[in-house]
Amino acid sequence: SVVFQDYKTYEMPLSESIQLGDTEKHPDAELWNTLDRFGAESIRRHLDGDLNRNLGRAVSDDGTALSGGENQKVTLARAFLRRGKVKLLDEPTSGLDAYAEIDVLKNFIERENKWSEVIISHRIAYAAMCDRIFMMENGRIVEQGTHDELIAQDGLYAGRYRQQSSGY
């Protein structure tokens, strides 16, 4: 499953959108549970708890327009729901605030080791949650290791980590 920074939204019922490309049909409870992992309270309110309500208004006047962050959560839930062995996340939280970003990433990372994840991001403040970090510069891997190993090396990663985390 792949989540790109420039995610796509689809004007269709939420239940269809979240299962798009999946080969199996999931029960409503599983869809809501998956959405809830990513903070679906506002999505549930916007749709009046109706998974069959249309996302967007171009196709149906009774549809609802979600915010950019809400649409990104739907895209993340779609990737999470799929049973694939690898999840590729390219700047997957660009439309979310800092609090939601951390919660979303924890929900992807803290699971029962059912898949591998590759997270591509310029935001390295949450990299400590990852098993292995590859620091790139000019298209090349210049450092790799765990968060603690890279901090101890006091190289590029450590400098960027301190720079980004100092704002918090």
Answer for the pair 68, 96: CB distance below 8 angstroms, yes or no: no
Sign, CA torsion 37/100/96/120: negative
Instruction: Give the contacts of 103 (CB within 8 A, at least 6 positions apart).
Output: 38, 39
Confidence (pLDDT) at 110: 64
Residue 113 has pLDDT above 70, yes or no: no
User: How far apart, in whole angstroms, are the C-alpha atoms of residue 95 and residue 83?
Assistant: 25
For residue 113, give the amino acid letter: N
Q: What is the pLDDT of residues 31-57, one digit of tens each?
A: 999 898 888 888 888 888 899 999 988
Task: Give the helix/strand (H/E) hosting 144.
Answer: strand 140-145
What is the pLDDT at residue 28?
A: 93
pTM assigned to the model: 0.82
pLDDT score at 147:
94
Q: 143: burial class by Cβ within 10 Å (0-12, 13-18, 19+)?
A: middle
Residue 16: predicted pLDDT:
93
Residue 74 has which token pair?
């739907």
Percent of the chain at pLDDT exceeding 90: 29
pLDDT of residue 168: 60
b/e code 23-55 from CB counts within 10 Å (16+ = b): eeeeeeeebbebbebbbbeebeebbeeebebbb
Task: Give the position of tokens 């999931």.
Answer: 26
Q: What is the DSSP string of 7-65?
A: ----SSBHHHHHHTT-SS---HHHHHHHHHTT-THHHHHHTTT-TTSBBSSSS-TT-BP
Yes or no: say if 162 and 125 are a contact pair by the CB < 8 Å rule.
no
pLDDT in tens, 5-36: 887 778 899 999 999 988 888 999 999 998 98
pLDDT at 112: 58
